[in-house]
Chain A
Amino acid sequence: DAGVIQSPRHEVTEMGQEVTLRCKPISGHDYLFWYRQTMMRGLELLIYFNNNVPIDDSGMPEDRFSAKMPNASFSTLKIQPSEPRDSAVYFCASTPGGELFFGEGSRLTVL
């Protein structure tokens, strides 16, 4: 079975550019989570969805960040405009309830 699929795996961009990260959760999983991981701050929950509806976005750092889930099989995390401090690995995870299944992450570097 395919796991959680994220794209791109690596993204290098310049400050001020728009960045879009994509996630396809495991089919049948009702919950989808977006995390950010850095050496300094560790693993941070940004936002999560239940049945495509955002439930808690209190971890979204600021208005430059937005996330959508237009259907059960696709979600995006957008950063506009990007800044160097956004450099991190962004993980998507899904679950039917309980154990989380993580994607391999999208490593973002903002120059």
Chain B
Amino acid sequence: GDSVTQMEGPVTLSEEAFLTINCTYTATGYPSLFWYVQYPGEGLQLLLKATKADDKGSNKGFEATYRKETTSFHLEKGSVQVSDSAVYFCALLFMNRDDKIIFGKGTRLHILP
């Protein structure tokens, strides 16, 4: 079945470091791909998305490119801040199929000042 695999955390970085959180997916077809972020004590919120191959989603300095050939959607940021400390979830969705988003297990990110 369809699934999402993302790197296990926690990931600990110093402020201004470069961030990569890996995400790969298994799916029959071409889903839409998402990154959600969950700040402490809050619900998940959409960070960025891409709906077709080679699309790049970006928001708040974060980027991810939909790579069909490697079935990946890695999240990157050039210079992280303490305020980026959160849990990040990769997810996929087939629009107009079952409308059920499939989430990865989440990656906890700690940024040290």
Contact = CB atoms under 8 A, between A and B. Distances in A.
A34 interface: no
B100 to A, nearest CB: 7
A101 B101 CA distance: 12
Interface in B19-78: 32, 34, 36, 41-46, 49
Contact of A42 (B41, B96, B98, B105): B105
Interface in A65-111: 91, 93, 95, 97-105
Contacts of A50: 99
A98 B55 CA distance: 16
Interface residues on A, range: 20 to 34
Given A97-B95, A99-B34, A99-B49, A45 B44 contact: no
Nearest to B102: A45
Interface residues of B, number: 21
B43 A105 contact: yes
Interface in B89-113: 89, 93, 95-96, 98-101, 103, 105-106
A43 interface: yes
Interface of A: 4, 31, 42-43, 45, 48, 50, 56, 91, 93, 95, 97-105
Interface of B: 32, 34, 36, 41-46, 49, 89, 93, 95-96, 98-101, 103, 105-106
10 contacts: A4-B43, A43-B44, A45-B100, A56-B98, A95-B99, A97-B95, A98-B93, A98-B95, A99-B49, A100-B46
